[in-house]
């Protein structure tokens, strides 16, 4: 048991009586252990090489409405091309409970503009307490960041591809976006703890 609250004799006794099969370890100065760990991590961030995702991470996407849609009912709107589009789809990049290595790039997922003359593409980054969220509007989903990528050359129109991948670092998530036409790479840090 670590942290200031774990120094409470009443809490210690309650934990020991509740978990009689387990050996309860309370280090000296239990209230300072968390602080000392943070200092050690700050000086040697590579001491932790792998993490288990607490949340499912992904981005908000839209796609053309089709009969084969498997997601729950969601907002449907007509776009500038006259196509009906499903909105608020949760595009999963890493799942809660998944093991991620420090600075390892997750598999890339391709996104495209919705219209031929689109001059920017915005990625809204979400976290969810659910392992398999389908919509960003579900309970437990929260917006944790946003990344806007300018599209300077619109000649490829809706065929212009952008690859997005998540990179999990020490205390943050980095979203990498690669413009497949120009080769330009954009990185955006998202608060890992928030």
Are 95 and 53 in contact, with CB atoms under 8 Å apart? yes
Q: What is the DSSP letter of 105?
A: B
Alpha carbons 72 and 64: distance in angstroms, whole number: 15
Q: pLDDT truncated to tens, each residue of the chain (194 aa)?
A: 998 898 899 999 999 999 999 999 998 888 898 888 888 877 887 777 888 899 999 999 999 898 888 888 899 999 888 889 999 999 999 999 999 988 889 999 999 999 999 999 888 999 999 999 999 999 999 998 888 888 989 999 999 999 999 998 667 788 899 999 999 998 887 754 44
Alpha carbons 180 and 49: distance in angstroms, whole number: 30
Q: Which helix (H) or strand (E) holds 120?
A: strand 120-128
Domains in the chain: ranges and CATH: 4-47 (no CATH), 51-59+91-191 (2.60.34.10)
Are 24 and 11 in contact, with CB atoms under 8 Å apart? no
- pTM for this model (two decimals): 0.75
């Amino acid at each position: 048991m670590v942290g200031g609250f774990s120094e409470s004799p009443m809490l210690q006794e309650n934990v020991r009586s509740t978990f009689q099969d387990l050996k309860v370890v309370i280090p000296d100065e239990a209230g300072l252990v968390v602080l000392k760990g943070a200092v050690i991590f700050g000086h040697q961030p590579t001491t932790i090489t792998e993490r288990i995702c607490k949340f499912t991470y992904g981005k908000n996407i839209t796609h053309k409405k089709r009969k084969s849609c498997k997601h729950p009912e969601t907002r449907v709107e007509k776009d500038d091309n006259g196509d009906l589009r499903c909105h608020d789809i949760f595009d999963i990049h890493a799942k809660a409970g998944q093991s991620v290595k420090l600075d390892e790039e997750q598999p890339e997922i391709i996104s495209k503009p919705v219209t031929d003359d689109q001059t920017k593409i915005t990625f809204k980054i979400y976290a969810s307490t659910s392992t398999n969220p389908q919509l960003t509007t579900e309970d437990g989903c929260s917006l944790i960041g946003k990344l806007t990528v300018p599209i300077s050359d619109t000649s490829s129109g809706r065929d212009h591809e952008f690859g997005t991948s998540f990179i999990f670092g020490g205390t943050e998530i980095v979203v990498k976006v690669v413009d497949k036409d120009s080769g330009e790479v954009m990185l955006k840090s998202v608060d890992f703890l928030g």
